[in-house]
Structure 1
Amino acid sequence: MVRASARDEDVLFAARVSTKGEQSLADVDAEAGRSAGLINYLMRDRHGSPFEHTSMTFYVQAPIFVFREFMRHRIASYNEESGRYRELRPVFYVPGPERALVQQGKPGAYEFVAGSEAQHSLVIAQTRRACEVAYEAYQRMLEEGVAREVARIVLPLTTYSSMYVTVNARSLMNFLSLRTKDSEARFPSYPQREIEMCAELMEQGWASLMPLTHAAFVQNGRVAP
Structure 2
Amino acid sequence: MAEINIELIDSMGCDLTVANVARVSFNRWKEELDEGDVGLINYLARHAHTSPFRHTAITLSCKAPVFLARQLGKHQVGLSWNEVSRRYVDAGIEFFVPDNWRSRPDGSVKQGSGGVHSHSEYFSHEYQQFVVRCKDIYDEMIEGGVAPEMARMVLPQSMMVDWVWTGSLTAFFHVWRLRIDNHAQKEAQEFAQKLEEVVQPIFPHSWKALKNG
Q: What TM-score, normalized to structure 2?
A: 0.88
1:219 is matched with which residue?
212
Deviations 1:45-86 (A, max 9, x none): 111111000001111111111110110101211111111111
Query: Per-residue displacement from partner, 1:160-199 (whole Å, max 9, x unpaired)?
Result: 1111111111111111110003xxxxxxx51111122121
Is residue 2:154 matched to residue 1:161? no
In the alignment, the residues of structure 1 paired with residue 184 and residue 24 of structure 2 have an alpha-carbon distance, to the nearest angstrom, of 37
Q: How many residues align?
A: 205
Pairing 1:15–2:25 present: no
Please give the alpha-carbon distance, in whole angstroms, between the structure 1 residues aligned to 2:52 and 2:184.
27
User: How do 1:185-196 and structure 2 match up within 5 A?
Assistant: 189-196=182-189
Cα distance change, pair 49–108 in 1 and its aligned pair in 2 (3 A): farther
Q: Which runs of 4+ in 1 moved over 4 A?
A: 108-111
The offset of 1:109, in angstroms, is 8.8
1:201 counterpart residue number: 194
Letter in 1 for 2:73: M
Q: Residue in 1 aligned with 2:143?
A: 143
Residue-by-residue CA offset, 1:103-161 (whole Å, 9 max, x unaligned): 23434896632232xx2113312221221221122112112111111111110010111
Structure 2, gaps ≥5 residues long: 1-7
Alpha-carbon distance in 2 for matches of 1:110, 1:151? 31
Give the equivalent residue in structure 1 for 2:172.
172
Q: Is the 8 A contact 2:59 2:164 kept in 1?
A: yes
* Partner residue, 2:126: 126
Q: Which has the higher contact order (CA 8 A, sep 6+)?
A: 2
What TM-score comes out, normalization by structure 1 length?
Answer: 0.84
- Alignment partners' CA distance in 2, 1:202 and 1:14: 24
Q: Is the 8 A contact 1:39 1:212 kept in 2?
A: yes
Q: Tell me the equivalent position of 1:84.
A: 87
Q: Which has the higher helix share?
A: 1
Aligned to 1:114: 116
3-state DSSP of counterpart to 2:106:
strand
In structure 1, C-alpha distance between the alignment counterparts of 2:52 and 2:87, rounded to whole Å: 39
Instruction: State the distance in 1 between where 2:145 and 2:37 align.
Output: 62
- Partner letter of residue 167 of structure 2? V
